[in-house]
Structure 1
Amino acid sequence: MKLLVPALMAAMLAAPALPAFAAAENPAQTPAKVAKPDLVKGEASYTAVCAACHGADGNSSVPVQPKLAQQHPEYLVKQLQEFKSGKRNNAIMKGFAAMLSDEDMRNIAYWVTAKPAKAGFAKDKDLVALGERIYRGGIAERQIAACAGCHSPNGAGIPVQYPRLSGQHADYTAAQLVAFRDGVRANSLPMGQVAAKLNDREIKAVADYIAGLR
């Protein structure tokens, strides 16, 4: 025992001391700070690249071109990144997105999302009731989920997760639902699953109802 104690003490003294808070002080473990979007640059980039199709303030006047005003910025950035990578297939948008860095995308998205969206209107009185039923309650017997569950009852969506739909052009919404249904647009598995169960009349009805949501 007398021999063991000095040997143990010598081993302890020889071992290197562990610095307190070493993990916290390691720069590699410190999350990188994301720079705030530059809205001045965002406006300049938007005007140069996006305004011709999507309107000077993000309110497109062309029914086949989506309104971008007041859309969630995270959603816009995601779509631009996926146009650029090809995950969302659109030759025209791929060309524009290819010119943008991630910083450009953030600047544009945060600038246009600050612009108020102009209200839209439902046009087909014969279909709007069907559209409302699908949007608010889905179609239970065919296991079609209600749109409102993800996009909220008034179409405002859920930031980060689900886009704003309220007031969007019916022609654009219908085209996207058809693209999801037919597998042309494949960058959202849940939307592909829902759209796959809708027929043309139901797609037209729900798109028209969404256009008039406030």
Structure 2
Amino acid sequence: MKRLIAGVVLGVGLAATAHGAGDPAAGEQNAAVCTSCHGQGGGKPIMGSYPKLTGLGERYLYDQLVAIKEGDRAIPEMTGLLDSMSDQDLQDLAAYFDDQEMVVNQADPDLASQGEALFRGGNMASGVPACSGCHSPNGNGNAPGGYPAIGGQNAEYLAAQLKAYRSGERAGTSNAQIMVDVATELTDAEIEAVASYISGLE
């Protein structure tokens, strides 16, 4: 599995270029509908189960918006919200949110050691690769490859997404199969620890 993941990462990294087609100023005009759940600028969600949208990477954000609009990624709270938006509108939204600064959380100190070990070194015994391999050592992601910046993201949201990948509930979006393969080998305790650690990365 590690060889497969490494190959996919290398292939995507070599073939991809940064999306960069959106206009942040235009995106701000369409972002008002997002504030009721994700907060002003997308960085202060009303609940920990909602993601921060700030600085995730323009290509990743665009891919997710397209997947949500087309029904490939089901998010009940967003049903119909993107229906009237054009492809350019989605590109502009992605550019706007990527342009905003991530506000970092505080990791649980009791989970920090285990979480850091998983993030930086994976779990060789169960075949889990290091998160840092795709998402960078500081959690800043790989924008050209479409791998999101995850440092500072809400731990509750991260844990829920890892469990969704593990169950196969989230499996139809860009780079999803890599995450399904990784999350399948994670225990609940490992998910809690690594999600908490990532939430405190900056």
Output the TM-score relative to the length of structure 2: 0.84
Matched with 1:133 is: 117
1:83 and 2:68 equivalent?
yes
Q: State the 1:133 CA deviation.
A: 0.6
**CA–CA distance in 2 between the matches of 1:60 and 1:69?**
9
Matched with 1:172 is: 157
Percent identity over the alignment is 40
- Judge which range, 59-68 or 127-136, deviates more: 59-68
1:66 and 2:54 equivalent?
no
Q: State the 1:126 CA deviation.
A: 2.3
Matched with 1:56 is: 40
Q: How does 1:118-129 map to 2 (within 5 A)?
A: 118-123=103-108, 125-129=109-113
Q: State the 1:143 CA deviation.
A: 0.8
Q: State the 1:41 CA deviation.
A: 2.4
Q: State the 1:55 CA deviation.
A: 1.2
Amino acid at match of 2:113: A
Matched with 1:104 is: 89
Secondary structure of the corresponding residue to residue 81 of structure 2: helix
**CA–CA distance in 2 between the matches of 1:134 and 1:148?**
9
1:152/1:158 contact within 8 Å kept: yes
Matched with 1:154 is: 138
Amino acid at match of 2:128: I
In structure 2, relative to structure 1, the CA distance for the partners of 1:73 and 1:93 (3 Å cut) is: same
Structure showing greater Rg: 1
RMSD: 1.6
In structure 2, relative to structure 1, the CA distance for the partners of 1:129 and 1:36 (3 Å cut) is: closer
Matched with 2:194 is: 206
Q: Pick 1 or 2: higher relative contact order, CA cutoff 8 A, min separation 6.
A: 2
